[in-house]
Amino acid sequence: MLAEHMTWIEYRDKVKHSVVILPMGAFEQHGPHLPLNVDVIIPTSFANLVAAKVDGMVLPPVTYGYKSQPTSGGGPLFPGTTSLDGDTLTHFILDILRDTYRHGGRKFLLLNGHYENVAFATEAVDLFLREAKDVKIVILSWWEQVPDELVPELFEGAGFPGWDTEHAGITETSLMLFFAPELVRKDKIIDDQAARIPKYAIFPPSKDIIPASGVLYKATYASLEKGEIICKQVTDVIVTIVKQEFNARSQ
Ligand code: ZN
Ligand code: MN
């Protein structure tokens, strides 16, 4: 299932028939309570769960992403947040698609965990499709697969702030409590919010649109139980998408 653990012979025999899943993340601050690679751990965890159910193959993840923005990730000024230029990210993804295609891959799922990546993944796929024949590609972000009916339950008492603002907040913290509890500093979980959240971008960013903690929403409303519910429901949704779009069989 994990391409990185396969021999070349195992890879050769599997890549042609499998849905090839590429998790895409970032190296970005996630407050005082979560590690810098949250946006890698979450989509990689979903990729592994989905691959097990549809006989998929998971490629090593893209571990850096497009530039963190103040109102969706805190922006570039936090120590550690390390981002790629759009052109670098586009060509990084494009190179992976090209070589995997050369080896026989035809069905690709780009499974995104970092808000700012989407346009550059789309650009990579668009450039790839100019040369690749008989391929099908799906790009999705995990939070867009959270069922609408689940949102009131997850955000009860806190209110839903919009997915861009849900950074190091309720859903990411809950999923990390479920996927990698040993990496969550539970005594450092806090609620925070920017003094204002403009619906436009400001360059250079003014300080009052970035919470000093790096937490963009109310992380204390996170729980292991919420993480488990999100994990199960989002995995089911992605499996359904894969079956529908790639005619993949269940295991
Ligand atoms: Zn994140
Ligand atoms: Mn992010």
User: Tens of pLDDT along 176-221?
Assistant: 999 999 999 999 999 999 999 999 999 999 999 999 999 999 999 9
The CB density around residue 85, as the number of other CB atoms within 10 Å, is: 11
Question: Cα–Cα distance between 170 and 195 in angstroms, integer?
Answer: 19
pTM of the model: 0.97
Confidence category of residue 247, pLDDT binned at 50, 70, 90: confident
**Strand, coil or helix: what is 107?**
strand
Per DSSP, 217 falls in state: S
Query: From the CA of 93, how far away is ligand 1's center (Å)?
Result: 19
Query: From the CA of 250, how far away is ligand 2's center (Å)?
Result: 31
Contact 120, 86 (CB under 8 A): yes
Query: From the CA of 176, how far away is ligand 2's center (Å)?
Result: 14
Every domain of the chain and the residues it spans:
3-158+234-246
Q: What percent of the chain has pLDDT over 70?
A: 99
Average pLDDT score, the chain: 97
Tokens of 124: 């990579």
pLDDT of residue 248: 73
Which residues carry out catalysis? 28, 30, 39, 114, 116, 167, 172
Taking the domain 3-158+234-246, which CATH number applies? 3.40.50.10310
Confidence category of residue 14, pLDDT binned at 50, 70, 90: very high
pLDDT of residue 251: 63
User: Tens of pLDDT along 45-104?
Assistant: 999 999 999 999 999 999 999 999 999 999 999 999 999 999 999 999 999 999 999 999
Residues with CB under 5 A from ligand 2 (ion): 26, 28, 39, 73, 114
Contact 41, 179 (CB under 8 A): yes
